[in-house]
Every structure is written in C-alpha cells, then in structure tokens.
Structure 1
Amino acid sequence: MDFKYDVIVVGGGHAGCEAAAAAANMGSKVMLITMDMSRFAQMSCNPAVGGIAKGQIVREIDALGGYMGIITDKSSIQFRMLNRSKGPAMWSPRAQCDRMVFSDEWRSQLESMPNVFFWQDTVSDFIIQDNIIKGVTTKNNVTFKADAVILTTGTFLNGLMHIGSVSSEGGRVSEPSSKGLSETLFSHGFTVGRMKTGTPVRIDERSIDFSKLQEQKGEETNHRFSYLPGSNKILKQRSCYITYTNKKVHAKLEEGLHESPMYNGTIQSIGPRYCPSIETKIVTFSDKDRHQLFLEPEGQSTIEYYLNGFSSSLSLNCQVESLKLVEGLENVKVFRPGYAIEYDFFDPTQLRHTLETKYISNLYFAGQINGTTGYEEAAAQGIVAGINAHCKINNREEFILSRDQAYIGVLIDDLVTKGVDEPYRMFTSRAEYRILLRQDDADSRLTPLSYKIGLASKSRYDYLQEKNSFKNELIKFIRSYSVKMDKTNDWLKSKGTTALKQGVKLIDILNRPQISIMDIYDFFNDFKTKCNEIPEERLLEVLESVEVSVKYEGYINRERVLADKYKRLENIKIKDRFDYPTLLSISTEGRQKLEKINPETIGQASRISGVSPSDVNVLLVLLGR
C-alpha cells in the first residue's frame, strides 16, 4: 500500500520535530516517521536547553514560530541567565528540564497539529528518480511518497556504542541503529564520514552525599525562553550541584585507559574537542589536579541524576571505582554507565543554504547528520529545513537567514561554506555581529520575516508590535524626562557615581555604568508610573530591552554599519559563473575549494577556508568590479 504526503520527515528528534511542525504550520501535510513514538525530542545527553550561544538559538527558533522555547518553559525545573557580568551580546538563557515532561509536551504539541501524521517504523531506503526524491520505504516494507523528504537521523546511521571493551550496535542506549541509508546516499555521490560523541554516567540521588557538594540554585525571576505569554516554572524547581575530581580519581582513570576504545585504537572517529570525555581531560590536561563536575536532576521528581563533565567510554568497573573517589559520591550507585557512540554523517558542503542536498533535489538534511552536535543546533536546522521544504514544493522563494540576522544564519553558513572537521557546536565567537544577535531582540529580528512567509501567526506578530510600542514609549520618556540635581544627588552618590552639576535628562543617568534600568525603576516614581502601563508579565523583558538599546546604542549602530558594508559582497552573485579550474591566477587550493563548494556569492566565497583575499580580488576583477 502506498501513502502520499507533501513532506516526509525521517526521525523524531529535535530537528525532526521542529521540521515537521514548521512544514505543517505552513500548510504541508507531513508524515513523521520515527522508530519510537514515546521518545520525541529525546534528551539523549544532558537534560538542559540553552547556554552560551545555544540560548540565543532557542530564542531565534521561538521567534520564527518554532516550539523548543515554549516546551522548554513548560518543562523547566531551573532557569538561569548566564554571563550577566558581561555585555548583553553574551547574555545566554539556560534551563534545566524534566526530560520526560519535555518529550511528552513535544508529543502533545505534534499530535495537536491536524497536518502532522505519524508512522512508527525504520526508514530503510529512498525512492529516487532522475536525482529527485520521491519517497521512502521502511523496514516493514511500507512505501510513503512525498514531494520532499527531510532526513534527521541523529546518531542512528550505522550507530555503534562503546563501553570499555564492549561494543554494540545502536543509535542510543536500548535503541537499534539505522542501516542502509548511508550506503544508498554514498551510491548517489555523497561523501560519508564518521563522528563520535559521548554521554556521562547516570547515578542514583539516594547514594549522593549532598552535604559535601556546592549547591547551584536557579534564578527567582520571571525570565523564560518563549516570547509568547504563558506561565513558566510550573514544575517543581530543583537545584544543581557541583563537585570536583581529584588526583586519586585521575590515577584510577589512568589505570583503565588501556580498555578505553578511544585510546586502544577501537574508535578512530572525530569527537568534540570542546566537550571532551573525562579520559581525554586527564590526558590532554595532565597538569590539572581537578575538573569540575555538575550533578543535574533529570526531572522534577525522579531520583536519576546526570553527571555533567564525566562523559566516558571506559569500562563500567573503571567508571564506578573512579566515581567513588569523588567527594560526595563515595557510596555512589549507578543506573547506567557513560558510553561513546560512533555514527555516520555527511559533509555539509554537499548542501545548499536551504539545507537541500546538491545531489538529490527536494532531499533535505538537518541535525547531527550534518556534523553538528547539540539539541539547539539540530532544532535550528530542523525549522529551516521544514520551512524550505514547504517553500520548494510550493514554488515559493527560499528562506535563508544571513550572518547578521541570526545565529541560525551563522550556523548554516558555517556548515555549507566551511564544512566540519569535528562535531560543530555554536559559540558566540563564531558570529561577527554578536551585538546584533542578542537574545533579547530575536523576536524583533526574525518574527516579521517568519510572519511574512506564513509561519509565525498574526497573534505572535501583533504581540511583538505591542512589545515594541511599549519599548519605544519608555525610550521616548527617558529621553525627555528632566532630572533635578537636588532630588537626585544623594541617591547618585549612594550608587557610587558622581553628583550632578546641573539638570540632565533621564537617559544621561541611565547611560552611567553604575546605574541600571531597575535602579531607575525603583527611584523615579514617574518612570515607575509610566511602566505600570505594561502588563506585569512583560515588564522585565521590556525594561531589559530598553536598557540594552540605550546603553549600547553606539555599539549597535557601529556594528550595523559594518554589517551593511560587508553585506554588499553578499549581493554579488557568482554561482555557476566561473570555470574555476581554468582560473590560474587563483591559488591551487582556492580553485579546488571554489569548484567543490560553488559559492552563491562573493561573500560566501570569502569565507571558504583556503580562499585568500587575493583570490577574492581576482574574482571581483573578473566581474568588472
């Protein structure tokens, strides 16, 4: 029996869920095929969302009309805004989640969408005609046809797990790997590689001596991930805890290195350099006497804890014996050991910026299949793939975010332009225009774009317009409100800043580094009265947006000018305009890289590793510029 849909999404992880939701909300009939319908958006590794740069991505997904932020708020058991001591470009929201509630909420969300349909099975092959995807077949010999297919297979393609000398096939603990798809894609010219990731041990709360640990509480604020109204912190809030390894732990770990598949030659895949296993830490940083470990609860009521910082592929005995030497874990009981997993990925330079593959039309890749790591990076690719799959089959303009519009734009441009030589993770340092890509203004940057293409709802768009109106009214007020010396100087001195010598506008007070917007809110009654016009649940977000806009106006404007200057290069189209191997005035490496990637614009060409500024100048000369 054949079944026909507009879009097929293969895989129910973070990328697959966002892809299915985006395409469905834009009007496509979507078939979501997953191995296990009880594990949508499973948090395979740590039960948390956000963090440095990742938190900005989640807010961008939310601004576009995705669901990761909404579902994180519903399942949050702790919220923190990281990097408060730094500038606003570095502020990054992070939430500890109940991973079971998170998955359940995703299932409920998807099941509420009339355009999303489900099939529990394993996709084993593709239907491809004249290099155009036409559908898929499953392990149970069911055929599904569609105009577009989005592949979001995570770590399941030929997945192989390692615990010491024990290896077993699987894409995640207790779940089988997927076979056949890599071989089919390889036969169509795709380059296939192997990567490695790992996950830490899970331990029993009842065996932890918390009196020896440092408690890390969440913030008691009204912050949330989603820009939309709604209650967050509806679950029981829980603390995380910190402890450290020590020299005895390191010595015990070293005894087991001969059994580690990473050090005995069993694993030869590429692993994440910035998130190393504990055995890699003690080898690479042998001068360090200790490494920080975070104990993170897996939910609001479970006794299961995730030991962040202790990823490992060492044997079970070595992991347990080492843990018992950690302060607070002397009597530790383990639910399951950490393990490493190898899986197939595809060189992302084989993709267009829409995440459509170059070799097979209407086939899209999203998530770890593209060499990335992290729930947030996967979800970001998923929503972009879902949008573009719908647009392509409906003959609509493709949806591409630039590097000055979103971290999502930076992520995808890095992948398709530079490729990866290790699992890719987003950092703020990867973005040239960090002050333009803050977490506080993702809705202003992206919701209008999403509303224009029919993804973000009108109610969401109107909600943004109302917020901007509140913000603009407050900025207008502080620009015009006069501050008198005699009523203010004592207060200014108490805040550690100099007294006034004449009257000034309120904006001059706010621009002082010692004064925050909340200081002004607490001291100036007229300003507080003005703020009373804003609904309480929106006040904090609006005030923070006002403060950033005022205090960093100069930086923001300067970076906008730079972005606009370099954007001119993005408007010079060069795709298919040159026969690169014949351009002998360009370096050999430059010719090879340009031919392989065939960049869309001069701007993209300038970011390709191996293409020098002089190579770019040659292209500009040939274009008559």
Structure 2
Amino acid sequence: MEYRIKTEVCVIGAGHAGCEAALACARLGLDTTIFTMNVDSIAMMPCNPHIGGSSKGHLVREIDALGGEMGKNIDKTFIQSKMLNVSKGPAVHSLRAQADKAEYSKEMRRVLEGQEQLHIRQAEVTEILLEEAEASAASEDKLRDKALDRPEDTSASSEDKARNKSRDRSTDRSEDSIVERKGGKRVTGVRIVTGTVYECRAVIVCTGTYLNARCLVGECITETGPSGMQRSELLSASLESAGIPLRRFKTGTPARMDGRSLDYSKMTVQQGDPVVVPFSYSTDPAEVQIEQFPCYLTYTNEETHHIIRENIDRSPIYAGIIEGTGPRYCPSIEDKVVKFAEKTRHQVFIEPEGRGTNEVYVDGMSSSMPDDVQQRMYRTVPGLEHCEIIKNAYAIEYDCINANILKPTLEIKDIYGLFCAGQFNGSSGYEEAAAQGLIAGINAAMEFKGKEPLIIERSEGYIGVLIDDLVSKDNREPYRMMTSRAEYRLLLRQDNADLRLRRYGYRVGLITREQYEALCNKEEAIHKEIERLKRVKVGGSRPVQEFLAAKNSAELKTACSLAELLCRPELDYDALAGLDPDRPKYSRSVTEQVEIEIRYEGYIERQRRQVEQFEKLERRHIPEDIDYDEVKSLRIEARQKLKQYRPASIGQATRLSGVTPADVQVLLIYLEKFKK
C-alpha cells in the first residue's frame, strides 16, 4: 500500500535557493517540506567561502529588502567584511564578506529548524507527480492590467508615489480577473526513493549541481555531488518524461589547503574594513564590529603556466572528457593560461574557511588537473611552496534546464505549480541562487493563495535583471550576475535596495508592519533633508571662506545653498556640519541617500526618464495564447524566436536576439487590432 503524506509545498534541494524558497513559503503560511540529500549539506558552500562581491552584494541587499534570509545569516557568521569599488561611484560599490563556512551552514539550518510550518526531510526525490491541468488558473495578462489600475498607496510620500506609480504589482486576484486557462499539466506531489508520496500543490526544484553529477580530477571520475555528497540519480528521468529538456553545465572549484603549511610572509595581506557595514537592514551595525581574519594575495608565474601547458592534454576540459559547458566569467586556471597566453601571472587569493579550522581556500586557481599536476603547479606559487592539499580542486558536471521554458515568475510555462530556482536554471553563484529561490518561493505562495505574482522589473532591481536575462536570453553557459548587465545601475544601487523593494516584501507578507513604517519614515526624512539643504543658503562671509579654504575648496563668489556645496567632490555631508550648526540629526543610512541624491541628481533624473520609456514597453503585455503565425509581416526569424520564448511583454520581446525594431512595430499594430 502506497504511503502518502499531505503537505502544501515541496522544495527539492536545501542549498541557497532551496533555503530561501522554503522559508518564504513557510513564512507566508504554507505547510512546506524541504528535501535534501543530506541534512549536513543545508546551505553548504561547496565553492568559495564568501557572500557578496561585485553586483552580488546588490543581490544580497535586495534579498534582504524583500524579506529573505541570506543577508541576516552572513551578518551572523562572517569573519571578514570589505566594501569593494569604493574608489568608484556608488552605483558599483558592493559589499563582500568572508564566511565561516561551517557556521553559515549551521546557522541557516537552525533558522530552518526553528521556522513554523517548515519540515526538513533527508531523502532523494525521484519523481514529480503531474496530472492534466483543469481550466482554473488565472490569466497573468489581465491580472497585471488590473494591478496597474489599483488605488495609489496613501502611506507613501508624494515623490515616492510618482516614482513607483507604474511599478507596483501587488493587487490581489479578484473575481473579475479570474479567467480560464486551458492546457498543460499541474503538480500533484513528489515521490521519494522509498516510495512515499508527498501530496502538494506546488513544487520548487532547487537541485543545484546534484542532478546526475560527476566530479572530475584528471582521468579520475566519481559519480558524486559537490564535496563528495551523494548525487541525485533518478529525478532527471522524471523531468525529461514530463517534457522538460535538460542540458549539461559544469563548474569547478580550487583546492583547499592546510593554512599552517603556507608562508604568508611572501604574500600581500588583505585586511577587512575598519568599520563594517552589515548586509541586512535588520542588523544592528554595532553587532558586526568584530575582530576580523585577514586574507592574502599572491600570484601565479611562468613556471606555474609552464607546468599547466605541458600537461594540458591531461585536463578533462581539453581531453574532451567534460561534456558540460563551463562559466565564461569564472574560468579554471588552465583556461586562463590557454586563453590569456599573453599574461605572465594571475591573481590568487588565500581565504580562510572559518574560525575553527586551518583550512584555506585558494581563490583564482580552480582546476580539474590530475592530482600530481595540482601538487606541482600549486607549489610554484609564492607562499605555497610547501603547501599541503586537504581537498583537491575538481570540476563538476550536472543536469540543468534552459530557463527559457520559465515564466518571469520562475514557474514552468506549461506545468502549473512547478517552479525552478538556482543553478538548476543555468545560473552560477550562491547569491543568484538565493535570489531566484526567494522569488520562486514567493510566487508559489502567491499562486497558492490566489494572489498577484511578484515580478521585479529590470528597472527595479538586480533580481529583475537576473531573472529576465535567464528567461528571455539564450544562455549557453552558467549565468553570472555583473553590474554591466544592469542598464539602470545608477538607480539600482546596493545602498537603496530597501527604498526600491521593501514595499514589495511588505505587500507579499515577508516584511512586518514595523519594518514598513520604518521605511516610510526613512523616505520622509530623506525627502525633508534634501529640501532643507536646497533651501539653506550660505554667503561669502569670512568664517565661511576660511572653512572652505581649510577643506581645500574654492571660495564663494556669491551665496549658494548647502546642496550646491555638497556637489563639490572635496566636500561631503559630514564635512558641511561646520557650516550647518542647526541641522537635524539623522542616521547614516539617511544622510548617505541624501548625499547621493544631491550629488548625482542630474544623472539620476535622466535615468529615471529612461526607465519611464522602458516601462511603457514593459506594460504592453502579450497574451499567453497569441498565435504568432497570425501576425502578418513578421520576419521568419522573429516569428521563430517569439514562438520559442513567448515573451510576456513587448519590452521582453525587444530583448530577444533576432527580433528587430520593425518586428516590434508589426507586433504592436497586431496587438492594437487584437485588443479592439
């Protein structure tokens, strides 16, 4: 007799995507079961021991703004923190923290275990159970149109209303927005390896690099998941039988070494910031001012490269053993040596893995070379001459999907209730995975409750850029987030993630009323202080001129506002205190926004105008059931691409390769006729 257990949501995988997805569903009131191959691998960091970094720090801040857990967890478990790119503009400032890997995993597990309505199950999921869908799902097109007609948020400031009017998508489903949607299948549950069935209405696949995984070190191939964990062997067949095509990707990781065997005197020390900035808006800054661990910088050399070149035929990458496609922006050391032959050295960072271990991570030298070659090449690096390897570098191959089969909600287009997140979607990185997991979890809960899905637009967050790139572009390699991918990065800074996205977190139910009111108060304070600085004038009196001279700033010829002085590069908000004795006292989070908004006002306004144009196209939604064969005058290539990707909006259609502006105009004309 088949044993059956009832739940509401099943999350497959407990990595960074799975943890965020499961927590979101449980916190939104759904009975949630999360499955993992091994409970010791919950939130495991099989590769680098850090969270954040260029563009990735933006993602972590956005996750936190929406009510996710990653930022809180790294604030509790970091051993070094550093703000990157501080010599550049605020758009590319990015926080990065070294984690105590073991503690990060343990702390996240404690959070999961303490969460009500969340159940952890160590088991291999072998099958996703489906049935033919009934005509009961809602039309996203009508829902979005309904959302755009909602009453304005009376709790927001007038400036905020104007800025966000076209961006809010939080209206619940109402009776007149419910329509029939026929065809496809829907989720009914999952089966685990013992045969037990978990009945549910939503499944979120967050399998990471475990599906049919194999690890490679030279000619040695082991059929395991990351760090020697058991791989998932049966789920791939179930996915393919459901009509979900799979592809093979690969990634790699460097060796881990005994830190006591290294000579740090031959390296350059890399200290953390003297004043630590937390990732989470909920973390008290005083709590993260801790004693930090140093990292170290060294370099490869010609001897290193010579050893790699003479053994390149023994690398699985170049011997043709590896089937999967690797990440372009995180290449192995053998890839670097071959593809950048003109470079005489490459950076190598030595990073501690935690407080309770001597193990260190050799960042910048991932490899799949044989054991003997690894020993030789690592020992040519200054400071590593007598290194003792604890864990070999290895490459890992795994099954994943082309995310083009997903909606922007991260639900598979033709299977209702089946969501996907993380490396299973063809991305790389802990932060990218966590961001997708959070959005998939939120949208699974919204669909379950009959509410409008949460879709972050490209103009609203790096999360929006990430998901839009995954679902609308043909990514032929593991996708990595970068600041250059965000068209509106001056608006999408990591310092204002709460101002951009916390309102969405509140409306879906992951942000408390108290947190939301604090956001509203912060917005009001920023607006008031900007207006005050524009209003307060200083003249050319002797004390003022002496003050400016002391700051190496030009003297005043005529009176000007404090806001105008703040635009001078040699002055900042704190420096102007001497000319502004009656200023109100605000937190650093407020004055930072005031300073940025005033200094970059012209650029910010120009980018906001660009966003307005972008959003006009994003609001022109394309019906899901549109027949592109009926759209006359479309070029053949455009018709093929539109049928393949089925974009949700005109804006998304414009970003498809092979769709020209002329094709877009044809489509717009057709939609007008279709609407009439």
TM over 0.5: yes
Q: Counterpart in 1 of 2:400?
A: 345
Q: Counterpart in 2 of 1:80?
A: 82
Contact (CA 8 Å) 2:37, 2:231: kept in 1 or not?
Answer: no
Q: Counterpart in 1 of 2:564?
A: 508
Contact (CA 8 Å) 1:163, 1:314: kept in 2 or not?
Answer: yes
**TM-score scaled by structure 1?**
0.96
Q: Which amino acid aligns with 1:601?
A: S
* Alignment CA distance shift 1:392-1:349 (3 Å): same
- Distance in 2 (CA, whole Å) between partners of 1:516 and 1:236 is 29
Q: Counterpart in 2 of 1:574?
A: 622
Superposed CA deviations along residues 310-361 of structure 1, whole A, max 9, x for unmatched, are 0000011111111111111111111111100000111101011111111321
Q: Which amino acid aligns with 1:560?
A: R
Q: Counterpart in 1 of 2:137?
A: none
- Kindly state the Cα deviation for residue 582 of structure 1 after the two structures are TM-superposed: 4.8
Q: Counterpart in 1 of 2:111?
A: 109
The worse-fitting range, judged by mean Cα deviation, of 488-497 and 90-99 is 488-497
- Kindly state the Cα deviation for residue 16 of structure 1 after the two structures are TM-superposed: 0.3
Q: Counterpart in 2 of 1:498?
A: 554
- Kindly state the Cα deviation for residue 455 of structure 1 after the two structures are TM-superposed: 1.7
- Distance in 2 (CA, whole Å) between partners of 1:111 and 1:118 is 7
Q: Counterpart in 2 of 1:191?
A: 245
Superposed CA deviations along residues 417-447 of structure 1, whole A, max 9, x for unmatched, are 1131110011111111111111111101111
Q: Counterpart in 1 of 2:280?
A: 226
Q: Counterpart in 2 of 1:170?
A: 224
**TM-score scaled by structure 2?**
0.89
Superposed CA deviations along residues 452-489 of structure 1, whole A, max 9, x for unmatched, are 12121112212222333433343243223332432222
Q: Which amino acid aligns with 2:26?
A: A
User: Quick check: 1:259 aligned with 2:314?
Assistant: yes
- Kindly state the Cα deviation for residue 589 of structure 1 after the two structures are TM-superposed: 1.5
Contact (CA 8 Å) 2:367, 2:394: kept in 1 or not?
Answer: yes
Q: Which amino acid aligns with 1:218?
A: G
- Kindly state the Cα deviation for residue 520 of structure 1 after the two structures are TM-superposed: 2.2
- Kindly state the Cα deviation for residue 622 of structure 1 after the two structures are TM-superposed: 2.2
Equivalent residue in structure 2 for 1:545, among 584, 587, 593: 593
- Distance in 2 (CA, whole Å) between partners of 1:478 and 1:584 is 57
- Distance in 2 (CA, whole Å) between partners of 1:29 and 1:574 is 34
SS in 2 for 1:153: coil
Q: Counterpart in 2 of 1:518?
A: 574
SS in 1 for 2:481: coil
Superposed CA deviations along residues 387-436 of structure 1, whole A, max 9, x for unmatched, are 01011111111111111111111111111111311100111111111111
- Kindly state the Cα deviation for residue 524 of structure 1 after the two structures are TM-superposed: 4.1
The worse-fitting range, judged by mean Cα deviation, of 542-551 and 16-25 is 542-551
Equivalent residue in structure 2 for 1:4, among 3, 6, 11: 6
Q: Which amino acid aligns with 1:423?
A: P
Q: Which amino acid aligns with 2:229?
A: E
Superposed CA deviations along residues 104-136 of structure 1, whole A, max 9, x for unmatched, are 111111122111111111111111111211111
Equivalent residue in structure 2 for 1:381, among 436, 448, 467: 436
- Distance in 1 (CA, whole Å) between partners of 2:335 and 2:547 is 53
- Distance in 1 (CA, whole Å) between partners of 2:275 and 2:366 is 32
Q: Counterpart in 1 of 2:48?
A: 46
User: Quick check: 1:322 aligned with 2:370?
Assistant: no
* Alignment CA distance shift 1:234-1:158 (3 Å): farther
- Kindly state the Cα deviation for residue 52 of structure 1 after the two structures are TM-superposed: 1.1
User: Quick check: 1:555 aligned with 2:603?
Assistant: yes
Contact (CA 8 Å) 1:237, 1:300: kept in 2 or not?
Answer: no
SS in 2 for 1:608: coil
* Alignment CA distance shift 1:525-1:561 (3 Å): closer
Q: How does 1:174-573 map to 2 (within 5 A)?
A: 174-230=228-284, 231-233=286-288, 236-485=291-540, 486-521=542-577, 523-524=578-579, 526=581, 530-531=584-585, 534=586, 539-573=587-621
- Distance in 2 (CA, whole Å) between partners of 1:193 and 1:562 is 37
- Distance in 1 (CA, whole Å) between partners of 2:391 and 2:584 is 55
- Distance in 2 (CA, whole Å) between partners of 1:398 and 1:616 is 26
- Distance in 2 (CA, whole Å) between partners of 1:505 and 1:206 is 58
Corresponding pairs, count: 617
- Distance in 2 (CA, whole Å) between partners of 1:204 and 1:264 is 30
Q: Which amino acid aligns with 1:496?
A: N
Contact (CA 8 Å) 2:126, 2:238: kept in 1 or not?
Answer: no
- Distance in 1 (CA, whole Å) between partners of 2:274 and 2:131 is 56
- Distance in 2 (CA, whole Å) between partners of 1:612 and 1:398 is 29
Contact (CA 8 Å) 2:46, 2:226: kept in 1 or not?
Answer: yes
- Please give the root-mean-square deviation of Cα atoms over the aligned residues, in Å: 1.6
Give ranges in structure 1 of 5+ residues lacking alignment: none
- Distance in 1 (CA, whole Å) between partners of 2:670 and 2:521 is 49
Superposed CA deviations along residues 220-258 of structure 1, whole A, max 9, x for unmatched, are 114110111435436541111100000011111122212
Percent identical residues: 43
- Distance in 1 (CA, whole Å) between partners of 2:485 and 2:504 is 23
Q: Which amino acid aligns with 1:406?
A: G
SS in 1 for 2:201: strand
SS in 1 for 2:319: coil
- Distance in 2 (CA, whole Å) between partners of 1:95 and 1:238 is 11
Q: Counterpart in 1 of 2:19?
A: 17
SS in 1 for 2:272: coil
